[in-house]
Chains A and B, each alone.
Chain A
Amino acid sequence: MATEGEGSGFAIHPMDQFVIKPLFGGEHVHWYTISNVTLWMALAVLCIVLLLVVGTAKRSIIPSRVQSVAELVYGFIYNMVEEVTGHDGVKYFPYVMTLFLFILFSNLLGLLPMSFATTSHVAVTVVLALMVFVGVTVLGFMRKGVGFLGMFWVSSAPLALRPILALIEVISYFVRPVSHSIRLAGNILAGHAVIKVIAGFATLVVASPFVVGAVGAIYGLELLVAVVQAYVFTILTCVYLRDAVGDAHH
């Protein structure tokens, strides 16, 4: 992937930014190693604490700026959970909020220069998506029992089509965690790689003004993508959750 320039001064290594490095030396990345992954996840936690705990410490009736942002995020996700999953879904609001905040802050922190984007790694997003998938499946069987399988049986379709539709529904159900995770990692990965590739051309004097403009433009786009992907991941989580806790919609 790393495009080595042909000795012309190009040094385009778009994938180097995703390398996991132990922070305190060492050759091998063990599961417990403190690495840049640990650092940037910890910074995400720090940002969340600063926004939601420190920012709301005064519990003012007339909120400060930080507190109103925290309340805005709270209200946004709360309403999303309530509208999409219905009233029964509200008790899973803290879980959805955790996912949203982690993804949002990881995406945004990943956009800082020299930073490390934890959500660009499939390992992270696969775990996030599998947690939703397994959680929804377990919850669905716990709440609806065998009736949970009814969502694969499209009762509004003609009888002859139903087995075929059921097969398609089952396949699409199992594809969910794949698309759910690859969408997030792919978006973040692609955006960061594109910025790096374009920035690599900055050594070419003729191209450098264009590079500055392009990197600025793509950076703005990536800010949008960072927020939108966090939103998309969260609302899909809510949609999947509705299958388990909401009324039958199929």
Chain B
Amino acid sequence: MATGTETAAEAAGHGGGHAVGMPQLDFSTWPHQIFWLLVTLVVIYLVLTRLALPRIGGVLAERSGIITKDIAIADDLKQKALKAERAYNDALAQARADAARIVAEARAAIQADLDAATARADAQIMAKAAESEGRISEIRAGALDAVTEVAQDTAHEIVAALGGKADAGSITAAVAARLKE
């Protein structure tokens, strides 16, 4: 381009590549640089607009969509969990109340049974006691008779052994008299 810089360009072109002055100000290379710069920029621009940017933008949009959806699902599940917890607590309280009621009922029923059984047992005991009383007095009466009889017999035998002859009537009267004492 400029004739003044021609020598610099030639020097740059030769082997060894020693710079004469600033290669930046060697205007003869400007068309070359500008041409390849424009080619490069167009290639980058096409690669970006055709391939890279839509793809990355799509991935980012897709990801944020998935995240939003996941957060919504998580929120939903949290609400469900809260509801389930509430239902569980309700059921627990209900069960506790039921259990208390059943225990009270059972206790009352047992108490009633117990009272009835106690009453019945008392009655039986009373009856048994009365019966036993009768038997005892009977036995006592029987025992008294037996004693009298044994005493008469013994007295009779003793009198007979002593060589006496005693009549049953006087012995009986005598024993009875002794027993009365």
A5 at the interface (CB under 8 A from B): no
Say whether A42 contacts B18, CB under 8 Å: no
Contact residues in B for A74 (Cβ distance below 8 Å): 53, 56-57, 60
Minimal beta-carbon separation of A80 from chain B (angstroms) = 15
B58 at the interface (CB under 8 A from A): yes
Q: Which single member of B36, B38, B41, B60 contacts A37 (CB below 8 Å)?
A: B36
Contact with A along B31-69 (1 / 0, CB 8 A): 111111111110111011101110111111011001000
Given A20-B32, A29-B29, A61-B66, check contact A101 B44 (CB 8 Å). Answer: yes
Minimal beta-carbon separation of B22 from chain A (angstroms) = 6
Chain A: residues with Cβ within 8 Å of the partner, total of: 57
A71 at the interface (CB under 8 A from B): yes
User: Which single residue of chain B is at the shortest CB-CB distance from A189?
Assistant: B24
Q: Please measure, in the bound complex, the distance between the C-alpha atom of A89 and the C-alpha atom of B48, giving whole angstroms.
A: 17
Q: Please measure, in the bound complex, the distance between the C-alpha atom of A165 and the C-alpha atom of B17, giving whole angstroms.
A: 49
The A29-53 residues at the B interface (CB cut-off 8 A) are 29-33, 35, 37-38, 41-42, 44-45, 48-49, 52-53
Chain B: residues with Cβ within 8 Å of the partner, total of: 47
A139 at the interface (CB under 8 A from B): no
Q: Please measure, in the bound complex, the distance between the C-alpha atom of A61 and the C-alpha atom of B17, giving whole angstroms.
A: 50
Minimal beta-carbon separation of B176 from chain A (angstroms) = 125
User: Which single residue of chain B is at the shortest CB-CB distance from A105?
Assistant: B44
A158 at the interface (CB under 8 A from B): no
User: Which single residue of chain A is at the shortest CB-CB distance from B13?
Assistant: A27
Say whether B48 contacts A98, CB under 8 Å: yes
User: Which single residue of chain A is at the shortest CB-CB distance from B63?
Assistant: A61
User: Which single residue of chain A is at the shortest CB-CB distance from B17?
Assistant: A19
Which residue among A13, A21, A42, A185 has the maximum number of chain B CB atoms within 10 Å of its CB? Answer: A21
Contact residues in B for A26 (Cβ distance below 8 Å): 13
Given A16-B17, A45-B44, check contact A122 B24 (CB 8 Å). Answer: yes
User: Which single residue of chain A is at the shortest CB-CB distance from B6?
Assistant: A28
A121 at the interface (CB under 8 A from B): yes
Q: Please measure, in the bound complex, the distance between the C-alpha atom of A180 and the C-alpha atom of B43, giving whole angstroms.
A: 23
Given A1-B19, A1-B21, A124-B37, check contact A20 B53 (CB 8 Å). Answer: no
B88 at the interface (CB under 8 A from A): no
User: Which single residue of chain A is at the shortest CB-CB distance from B44?
Assistant: A98
The A72-104 residues at the B interface (CB cut-off 8 A) are 74-75, 93-95, 97-99, 101-102
B9 at the interface (CB under 8 A from A): yes
Say whether B13 contacts A28, CB under 8 Å: yes
Say whether B59 contacts A59, CB under 8 Å: yes
Q: Closest 6 CB pairs between A and B?
A: A52-B52, A15-B19, A31-B31, A123-B33, A41-B40, A18-B23
Name A's B-contacting residues (CB within 8 A): 1-2, 13, 15-16, 18-22, 26-33, 35, 37-38, 41-42, 44-45, 48-49, 52-53, 56, 59-61, 63, 67, 70-71, 74-75, 93-95, 97-99, 101-102, 118, 120-124, 127-128, 185, 189
Q: List 25 A-B contacts (CB under 8 A).
A: A15-B22, A18-B22, A18-B24, A19-B12, A19-B17, A20-B23, A21-B12, A31-B31, A35-B36, A37-B33, A41-B36, A45-B40, A52-B56, A53-B55, A56-B59, A59-B58, A70-B52, A94-B48, A98-B48, A101-B44, A102-B40, A121-B23, A123-B30, A127-B33, A189-B24
